[in-house]
Amino acid sequence: MKTMIILAALLMTVTSQAKVADFNTLIVENNKAQADLHTNLNTNLEIARLAVKKETEQKFIVDNTDETVNVRTNKTMLTFAKEKQHFRVSEQVQQKRLAEEISNAQ
């Protein structure tokens, strides 16, 4: 009887040690999988960042062959004072426009 109890206790400790060893290997495998996933995610994220950066980069084309430069200018800046016409809407037309904007907003 004593031998059976000792044998059962010995088997219990051996099986528990096997379970602990198996649990440790599970933890190690999980850590490896997490590390692989982390590195894979970082590389994918870096690739995506580079793709977005390539799309958003501004490109300028510089050409020295032309002797003239086209620049936007204000038309009134190039006209003489006599050629400028200052047009002002009458008070009645302004009130009518304001009433139409208010009625359209409602």
Q: What is the mean pLDDT of each run of 10 residues along the chain (106 residues)?
A: 74 64 80 92 90 71 66 72 69 89 85
Tokens of 9: 């206790």
- Residue 42 has a pLDDT of 92
What is the DSSP code (8-state) at residue 83? G
- Residue 34 has a pLDDT of 93
CA dihedral 43, 44, 49, 53 (to 10 degrees): 100
**CA gap 59, 55 in Å, rounded:** 10
pTM for this model (two decimals): 0.34
- Residue 83 has a pLDDT of 66
**CA gap 10, 17 in Å, rounded:** 11
- Residue 51 has a pLDDT of 82
Q: Are the C-beta atoms of residues 76 and 84 closer than 8 Å to each other?
A: yes
